Structure 1
């Protein structure tokens, strides 16, 4: 088993040292898509890396808690991740829809607030918006664009399968921003995806709330996309309150900003699994 990678920054090294010194007060927080699961062309085809569940099951009993924070519905992340009923993951939490939904392995249930009416309204307007944006010469650029309804709590427009993914992304950004503003929603750009969701929902808010609730002394957060920047911000703020933090980027050339801010960059989900395994080994698993 490889040794635990060394963070490149002093604060990252301090975060790793705190996790290993007092694992019972450590939280390992992870994004799902691009971090535990490889990015795929069809969101419904995403599944956790083959080694992810085993690595988490080795590590989880040795630390305070493991939490997955994702834009997906919590139940979908649990199903695609294969987290339910796994020995060792009985204290795992999944915060879906950027924290609006919460699944606890101990009960197997999901709790959530009422739906935001703006999401449904925006979803209903999307077909006409996409048809209008794709008229004329732009039609070829938008071929293959598809809409994902995230259980009524968010709606995402994916351009990865478009004939020209970046051109489609750029073409749709402004009209989707206007649509989001009109319905009181937030527009979150990501890796060839534009997501409309209610305000006050982001991974930073979800992570900070979970850490305060758990009384964490340290946190490792791993992500891969622009939506993870809010969680990075939260960790940096919490460092000022005495919670040691290690920021990990599941490496991607598509999101250079996240890699630049990370204390440690690993090679995608496979690198994340290797990191989790190395932590488990270092803690005696």
Structure 2
């Protein structure tokens, strides 16, 4: 791991001291699971279960906060099994799906979420024509129930198509009272007002957290980073972790520590567990 500043090292040390009251929030794709061309074939790193279960013995709770539907993240990540293992330590694993629109926990064991936003169905009807007009008819369109994601990763001109689509889809979304969330080769359209930062604040309020760490990899995690920075401004021990890659480094300048992909994230979390355990030994 690489701290971005002396202050980053100091924040890590403070978080170790506050570990028993700390909630650890984690993005899914690019943070727990390697990025793959087919989003339906993503799986969390094989070390994740063991690392998260051990981490649970040292912190207050663990939460996966993802743009994916909660049920999809649970299935692809094997997170129900992880939840069972975390529950055996006496702690909870939370999954906030679709940026916080959906919730699951290892104690409640069911996904709770709202109805699809008004305007989403009419947006989808126009989307097909828009993609055809922009020579992007082969982009993969993922219906998430509460949102729609347009993936360009599989296309030969993925980056150029992404840049071409983004302003057009943002304008189309606005006409239907929806918002756009750009990610790594994906443009997601969903209802306004719900984002990962709100999920962070919900966890702090509901669990009475005395510390917060969050790990993410792209612009979809920006609101979570901003929420954690606000918590730091209020005096709470915090840590911002950027999972970087060759193609995505948007959060590097905002992070306290930079690691390399899911493997680096898990190595850092394992170190956090060890340091917290030794401090209390």
| TM-score > 0.5, shorter chain as reference | yes
Partner of 2:143 in structure 1?
Answer: 149
Q: CA shift at 1:213, angstroms? A: 1.8
Determine if the alignment matches structure 1 residue 167 to structure 2 residue 163. no
Partner of 1:208 in structure 2?
Answer: 201
TM superposition score normalised by structure 2: 0.92
1:58-207 maps to which residues of 2 (within 5 A)? 58-86=54-82, 87-90=84-87, 91-134=92-135, 142=136, 144-150=138-144, 152-207=145-200
Cα distance in 2 for residues equivalent to 1:283 and 1:92: 19
Cα distance in 2 for residues equivalent to 1:103 and 1:12: 31
Relative to structure 1, the CA distance from residue 174 to residue 22 in structure 2 (aligned partners, 3 Å threshold; closer, same or farther) is closer
Q: CA shift at 1:26, angstroms? A: 0.6
Contact 2:2 2:258 in 1 (8 A): no
Partner of 1:137 in structure 2?
Answer: none
The SS at the match of 1:76 is helix
TM superposition score normalised by structure 1: 0.91
The SS at the match of 1:148 is strand
Partner of 1:47 in structure 2?
Answer: 43
Contact 1:29 1:66 in 2 (8 A): yes
Contact 1:144 1:163 in 2 (8 A): no
Cα distance in 2 for residues equivalent to 1:88 and 1:14: 31
Cα distance in 2 for residues equivalent to 1:76 and 1:212: 26
Determine if the alignment matches structure 1 residue 258 to structure 2 residue 254. no
The SS at the match of 1:147 is strand
CA deviations 1:138-190 (Å, max 9, x no partner) are xxxx364110111x211010001111001111121122112101110111111
Partner of 1:270 in structure 2?
Answer: 263
Give unpaired runs (5+ residues) of structure 2. Answer: none
- Which stretch has the larger CA shift, 198-207 or 83-92? 83-92
* RMSD of equivalent CA atoms: 1.6
- Which stretch has the larger CA shift, 197-206 or 7-16? 7-16
Q: CA shift at 1:108, angstroms? A: 1.1
Give unpaired runs (5+ residues) of structure 1. Answer: 135-141
Contact 1:11 1:246 in 2 (8 A): no
Contact 1:27 1:65 in 2 (8 A): yes
Q: CA shift at 1:256, angstroms? A: 2.7
Relative to structure 1, the CA distance from residue 97 to residue 76 in structure 2 (aligned partners, 3 Å threshold; closer, same or farther) is same
- Which stretch has the larger CA shift, 87-96 or 262-271? 87-96
Q: CA shift at 1:125, angstroms? A: 1.9
- Which stretch has the larger CA shift, 96-105 or 16-25? 16-25
Residues paired across the two proteins, number:
273
Partner of 2:34 in structure 1?
Answer: 38
Cα distance in 2 for residues equivalent to 1:276 and 1:8: 17
Cα distance in 2 for residues equivalent to 1:190 and 1:6: 24
Relative to structure 1, the CA distance from residue 170 to residue 62 in structure 2 (aligned partners, 3 Å threshold; closer, same or farther) is same
Cα distance in 2 for residues equivalent to 1:12 and 1:157: 35
Contact 2:116 2:147 in 1 (8 A): no
- Which stretch has the larger CA shift, 115-124 or 74-83? 115-124
